[in-house]
Chains A and B, each alone.
Chain A
Amino acid sequence: MTHHNDGVTTMPPTAAAAQAHRRTLLKAGLFGAASMAAGLRAPAVRAQAKRFAGVTINGAAFQHSFHAALKSWLPELEDKTGLKVNFELQSFPIYNQRMDLELSTHGSAYDFCNIGTPYAGRWITSGWMTQLDEFAHNANLTAADWEPGDFARGPLAILSDANGHIFGFPWVAGAIVMGIARSDLLEKAKLPIPATLDELVQTCLRTNAPGKTYAFVNDQLHHWEWPPYLMNEGGTIFRQPPTDLMPMLNTPQAIKAAEIYTQLLSSKCAPPGVLSYTDDQSQRMQLAGRANIRTASIDWLVPLAKLKDSKVRSTVRYAPLPKGPGGSFPGVNANGFGIPVGAKNKEAAWTFIQWALSKASFERMALQKAYVTVPRRSIIATPQFKEAMTINGQDVGQLYIDTVDAPGVSDYMKYRNMAVFPQVGEKINIAISQIISGQANAKTALDQAESAAIADIRKAGVKL
């Protein structure tokens, strides 16, 4: 057979020619086989040049837009390092419970996982997570420009133990601020943005319009949203964490804080059924302009200005959490990535974490995905981020960094890192809902919460 330029194939005219042609074919076949072999081997040879060629790691986290974006970018990591990542995403409560069980057995099913509030304290103090300082400060494992010191203080403190050892690096930092969806209603009533908790109560009582715009709304996570009220009133969750874990839930300051908080969530200020509200529901009420003020994590409040279907884009304003006689202690929470102590491939897991939490990754998240709760200072300081977070003339980015990076935040947020905080937090939830639903007054409910918390802490073997 000969190939003409036009691609047409014809039979050879003679036997010799045919013999010669067979040799040509053989040569061609050998060459082809060699080429094929080389071709087959080529990717492997190329892959061997990559450090984690052929390595697969498993990770898990809860469903979140940050994780979804990371998952879609994973092929880039594989292309760069050869590392293949199986990244499982589950709903928030399911993830936490499954991972809690998995970590408690020191299992090796996952090489990295999400670590965050409210479980971070328990997982860290129980020794279920790997200390990350040795990875972050090892020049052989970590790029020089990764800069662990670039992460904001508040979220990093949540993912560290009492001695400051880091067990997780944050991908999100929540900071409690005040979001006023309908600031026009305050202007109409000639009321300033409340600066103290007492002013907040008075403002809500005066502007509540049942059926139209409720003055206040919040979700049911009182163990997260009430402690800043308690601390602003001069109270504390534990007497002196981590050395003295005596709960301080029924002090005069706690009773005052509970009275303020529950008045805001009573029928005098909040929509009916608010006790069962989730974060989504509270946000939806604000987006529709049917609820005005909320003190919550900033990531639930910025969408009021950013989402297209928000009816309050032009009226939303932001302010720090109102102060109390004790000062201002806005809550900071964090979620990050860590490495389970039983993980099989910690170096590969660290490579994933480095990539996922690099400056480039956050920059991309901020610019492409409108991601606002960035825990890296250098990104927050960029002009692009500042521009994105300047809302209705307000520098909300500054408000955010002032909260998550405030001096002292790592001290007053220590209570969240205590292994027995879930027990105490649950008593707070019960007490607050008892007060709001009229089952008990603040003192009675908090007295019960205090004694129940003491009993549960003792059950954990902690001496009080």
Chain B
Amino acid sequence: MLLGPVLAVLAVITLLPTVYLFVISLTPLNLTKPGTAGDFSHIWQNYRYMLADMRLRDSLWTQVKLSASTVAFQVVLGFLAALLLNHSARVGRIVRTSLLIPMVLPPIVVAIIWKMVFSPDISPLWWLFNWFGWNVPVPITDARFALGSIVLADTWEWFPFTMMIILAALSMMPEELVEAARLDGATPVQLTWYITLPYLRGALLVAGLFRLIDSIKAFPLIYLLTSGGPGTVTEVPNYYIFVQSFNFSYVGYSSAITVVLVAMVCVLSWFIVRVVSGGDRAE
């Protein structure tokens, strides 16, 4: 009985826009040409464009690199930080709170902070480099390091999130497991590898999944730090969709890319959820 209204609301706020997005993707809708809104004469045209769009393909590859590195760094750093903080309750509380600051800042503020760090004319870091006489390249304008600078800023912002999830899981970990292993003479490294990590598997996967999905939505850092450049080396599909839609008014085409991106995220999420729930069954 109660499920009906919930499903109706869900249909209105989620399903309907998605269906509308798909319908738009079948048209050549261009805001500068109102007549294109109802033009269904070549419904697969946008999808055909996508197959030939090398820039889109490059942006997908950039996304793979960005997602893989940010998720890896954030999970590893979050795990290490959680392990350290779990041992010291009093110090841990203070450090934990301060580590949360980047995560609660608005993304635009995070981007501005890193923009200042990476702008040699105003960056204290570059004043220091100059003082030492080091000629350090500027990462956001150097094709070799531009993506790395986004990864660094994103990791700084979001590793506290994975840390919090892992800390919560660690606090639930039965003390007997650790004590038994200690009695058997396990070293700290063996404890971590054979006891803690297997126990945290589910938490790590959940944290990774959340960060993976969020990494696909990357926008403010890229918009403010590199604008997708230099060239297009930091351009991810999300940013490319923005350019197509808001700079060029190709709403039909950007909708088609969005439909494909949504489908990819759904498949990815389904796959990872299966892995996670499979792991739970094994436990």
The residues of A with any CB-CB pair to B shorter than 8 Å are 97, 100-101, 104, 122, 125-126, 211, 220, 271-276, 281, 284-285, 290, 419, 422-423, 426, 429-430, 433-434, 436-440, 445, 452, 455-456, 459-461
Contacts and interface: CB of A to CB of B under 8 A. Distances in A.
A276 B138 contact: yes
A315 B32 CA distance: 47
B31 interface: yes
Interface string B200-231: 00000000000000000000000001110111
A126 B33 contact: yes
Nearest to A126: B32
Interface of B: 28, 30-34, 36, 49, 52, 55, 115, 118-122, 126, 130, 137-138, 140-143, 225-227, 229-233, 243, 246-250, 253
Lowest 10 CB-CB distances: which A-B pairs, in order?
A273-B138, A104-B31, A275-B141, A437-B230, A434-B231, A126-B32, A433-B230, A437-B143, A433-B229, A273-B120
B115 to A, nearest CB: 8
B247 A459 contact: no
Nearest to A128: B32
B121 A290 contact: yes
A241 to B, nearest CB: 16
A440 B33 CA distance: 35
B119 A273 contact: yes
B141 A459 contact: no
Given A272-B138, A461-B33, A439 B231 contact: yes
B249 A100 contact: yes
Given A271-B120, A290-B121, A100 B246 contact: yes
Contacts of A97: 246
B33 A272 contact: no
Contacts of B141: 272-276, 433, 436-437
A131 B28 CA distance: 28
6 contacts: A273-B138, A284-B121, A422-B247, A426-B247, A437-B231, A439-B231
Nearest to A284: B121
Contacts of A436: 141, 230
A461 B231 contact: no
Contacts of A452: 55
A75 B52 CA distance: 57
Nearest to B33: A461
A460 B140 contact: no
A433 B225 CA distance: 14
A460 B119 contact: no
A274 B30 CA distance: 34
A266 to B, nearest CB: 12
Contacts of B229: 275, 429-430, 433, 437
Contacts of A290: 121
Given A290-B121, A437-B142, A122 B32 contact: yes
Contacts of B246: 97, 100
Nearest to B231: A434
B181 to A, nearest CB: 51
Contacts of A440: 231
Contacts of B121: 271, 273, 281, 284-285, 290
A272 B120 contact: yes
B249 A276 contact: no
Contacts of B140: 273, 276
B62 to A, nearest CB: 14
Given A104-B249, A272-B120, A272-B137, A430 B231 contact: yes
Contacts of B28: 461
B232 to A, nearest CB: 6
A122 B130 CA distance: 45
Contacts of A220: 227
Select the residue from B118, B126, B230, B249 with max chain A CB neighbours within 10 A. Answer: B230
B36 to A, nearest CB: 8
B31 A438 contact: no
Nearest to B129: A272
A426 B244 CA distance: 11
Contacts of A272: 120, 126, 137-138, 141
Contacts of B32: 104, 122, 125-126, 419, 460
Contacts of A419: 32
Contacts of B250: 459-460
A101 B137 CA distance: 39
B56 to A, nearest CB: 11
A414 to B, nearest CB: 18
A438 B249 contact: no
Contact of B233 (A101, A126, A423, A439): A439
B55 to A, nearest CB: 7
Nearest to A104: B31
A113 to B, nearest CB: 16
Given A430-B232, A434-B231, A437-B142, A276 B55 contact: no
Contacts of A125: 32
A274 B34 CA distance: 40
A125 B249 CA distance: 14
Contacts of A455: 52
B84 to A, nearest CB: 35
A220 B32 CA distance: 26
Contacts of B126: 272
A220 B115 CA distance: 15
A220 B49 CA distance: 29
Nearest to B246: A97
Given A273-B141, A434-B231, A452-B55, 4 more contacts: A273-B118, A276-B138, A276-B140, A459-B250
Contacts of B143: 434, 437-439
A284 B138 CA distance: 18
A139 B246 CA distance: 40
Contacts of A271: 120-121
A455 B233 CA distance: 20
